[in-house]
Amino acid sequence: RPRPGPARFRGCLAGALLGDCLGAVFEGRSVVKLPELLSFLKGLEPAPPEEGGEAAGSARGESLPYTDDTAMSRSVVQSLLAKQEFDEVDMAKRFAEEYKKEPNRGYGMAVVNVFKKLLSPKCSDVFEPARAQFNGKGSYGNGGAMRVASISLVYSDIQDVKKFAKLSAELTHANSLGYNGAILQALAVHLALQEGLSRETFLEQLISHMEHVEADDKSLSDARALGFEDLPFSRRLKKIKEFLELSSVPKEDVLFELGNGIAALRSVPTAIYSFLRCMDTDPDIPDHYNALQRTIIYCISLGGDTDTIATMAGAIAGAYYGEEQVPPSWEQSCEAFQETQRMAKSLYELYCQR
Ligand code: 8NA
Ligand code: MG
Ligand code: MG
Ligand code: MG
């Protein structure tokens, strides 16, 4: 199997950054009107020369701050680069110290308790604070999935991808409905890195992996305890397959079946659906946008947890299409985009060494 090139690595981290920074502008809105979104995006592009004169043609600079999604993704990358492999103690320390340095990045309500416990010198097991969340049930939020992409940029073996996606998520998300979402997102990035995988094969492979992942005792008992059917992620992937066979799927159906919320189960499948759906053009999205742009636009148009759904779909689409589809004007609007490019380069070097 040919190894993916550096353009996929750049695309993945840039797509994730774009999704977070652009999505954050609309986060939490129950309805996002497409004309307003498109008009906002137009504002990121250099103004046409005849109207603007000199200043308008220049890039407008990093104006869109990243949120917790990127802050935590950066800690994952920095830990992997520093240790050259997954190291739970180092990664936990970076999450907690990053939170202490910049607590106002928009973290989930409950996860900050994990960081506070991790910062205490009394903490000897870095997985313990996460296990104590929600009266011992653990978090099922999408925070493990939103930051996981770079695991798949370091580990090429699919068993390693699953193992380290799970462990990285378990530092904050001990409920299987949280960490299984991270495994699914990491698998999606892993498959997106493969050369020329069709939409059908991509989805079939995700389903067969997740049916295995979700069949263990803890996954079954966590799903039952929350009142879900067995294999809830696999079920939603099958719903995505049904959706993709239809000529059009209304937004209301996507929101009802897949969701736009902060639970991993109500957001990771949505990100995967958005990526797969946006391989085709969309009658509502102008044709001059490429597939990666369309993916991010579509995610944001769903409303709700826009930054997190767009960052996950952006990472997958960026890994699939590569940096060629990352529009410079969008990228340059995002905080720390140059550092993101350097991180992608370093991850690629690590991947080649391993
Ligand atoms: P988290 O672990 O605090 O989970 C997020 C939320 O999910 C919690 O605050 C709870 O409301 C709910 N939750 C999770 N597990 C359980 C459970 N077992 N029982 C009951 N409720 C539960 O943090 P996270 O890192 O998973 O959160 C990530 C999200 O928070 C991302 O969207 C990120 O951008 C951020 N965020 C979200 C919003 C939003 O409301 N859309 C706003 C700002 C920031
Ligand atoms: Mg966020
Ligand atoms: Mg969010
Ligand atoms: Mg900068």
**Minimal-distance CA residue to ligand 1 atom 17:** 139
Of the candidates 23, 9, 44, the residue with the CA atom closest to the CA atom of residue 315: 9
Cβ of 303 closer than 6 Å to ligand 1, yes or no, is no
* CA–CA distance, 98 with 81 (Å, rounded to integer): 16
Cβ of 139 closer than 6 Å to ligand 1, yes or no, is yes
Q: Please provide the average confidence, as pLDDT, over all residues in the chain.
A: 96
Q: What is the mean pLDDT of residues 147-174?
A: 98
pLDDT at residue 57, as a whole number: 41
Q: What is the mean pLDDT of residues 300-328?
A: 98
Distance 243 CA to ligand 1 centre (A): 27
Neighbours of 103 (CB within 10 A): 12
Tell me which of 205 and 2 has the higher pLDDT: 205
ipTM of the predicted structure?
A: 0.95
Q: Rounded to the nearest 5 degrees, what angle is found at the Cα of 306, between the Cα atoms of 221 and 57? A: 155
Atom of ligand 1 nearest to the CA of 175: 18
Query: What's the start-to-end Cα distance of the chain, in Å?
Result: 16
Cβ of 141 closer than 6 Å to ligand 1, yes or no, is yes
Cα-based distances in Å from 265 to 49, 184, 234, 305, 318: 46, 10, 10, 12, 22
pLDDT at residue 234, as a whole number: 98
Distance 112 CA to ligand 1 centre (A): 10
pLDDT tops 90 at residue 56 = no
Cβ of 327 closer than 6 Å to ligand 1, yes or no, is no
**pLDDT single digits (tens) 96-132:** 999 999 999 999 999 999 999 999 999 999 999 999 9
Cβ of 28 closer than 6 Å to ligand 1, yes or no, is yes
pLDDT at residue 262, as a whole number: 98
